[in-house]
Each structure stands twice: as structure tokens, then as C-alpha cells.
């Protein structure tokens, strides 16, 4: 089952994640519990394994994000944003 095919534009955005990394967004002050809840809500009925494949991370990482144990690195934040078509700051910095 293919959930999402990245377009060339999406691939370009992911490549620009290098710029996001250069911005060095600090995860300090992010409420892990609120982000975890939002990520669980966004995923809804999508299997963890399917989302993990789309985002290029392991299912354990998805679990850690959704359990509030970890915050995704910046390029994974960008992939979440692209997949759900929601700005990064709305997912990770606005509660």
C-alpha cells in the first residue's frame, strides 16, 4: 500500500532540509507531551509501519515520538510537514 509518493517538488523541499539544519532549530522548550499527542492525532488510523516507511524512520522512532520520549530531528519534522501538509511550526511549536 502506497500512502504517499513524493513529487519532485517534495524531494526539493527535503533537500532544502539542509537549510533547516543550518538554522539549528532548538528543541529546548518544546512540550514533548503536547507534540506526542498531536503526532498521534495526525497519524490516526495509519499504521506506524506505513508512516515510518514514508518518513524514512523506524517504527520505534514513531513510537518514541508519539510516546513523548523523543522529538524528531529537523529533517523528519519537515517530512511530517510535507506528508500531512501542515507547517512545521504548527505541528511542533504551536499547541
For residue 15, what pLDDT is reported?
63
Of 94, 69, 75, 95, residue with least CA distance to 19: 75
Q: What angle do CA 27, 93, 48 make, to 5 degrees?
A: 80
pLDDT above 90: percentage of residues in the chain: 63
- The more confidently predicted of residues 94 and 13 is 94
**pTM score over 0.85:** no
Grade residue 49 by pLDDT with cuts at 50, 70 and 90.
very high
pLDDT score of 23 more than 80: no
User: What's the full length of the chain, in residues?
Assistant: 95
Amino acid at each position: 500500500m502506497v500512502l504517499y509518493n513524493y513529487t519532485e517538488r517534495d524531494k526539493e523541499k527535503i533537500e532544502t532540509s539542509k537549510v533547516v539544519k543550518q538554522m539549528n532549530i532548538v528543541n529546548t522548550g518544546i512540550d514533548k507531551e503536547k507534540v506526542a499527542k498531536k503526532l498521534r492525532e495526525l497519524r490516526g488510523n495509519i499504521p506506524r509501519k506505513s508512516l515510518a516507511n514514508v518518513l524514512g524512520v523506524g517504527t520505534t522512532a514513531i513510537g518514541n515520538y508519539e510516546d513523548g520520549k523523543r522529538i524528531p530531528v529537523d529533517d523528519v519534522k519537515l517530512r511530517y510537514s510535507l506528508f500531512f501538509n501542515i507547517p512545521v511550526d504548527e505541528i511542533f511549536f504551536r499547541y
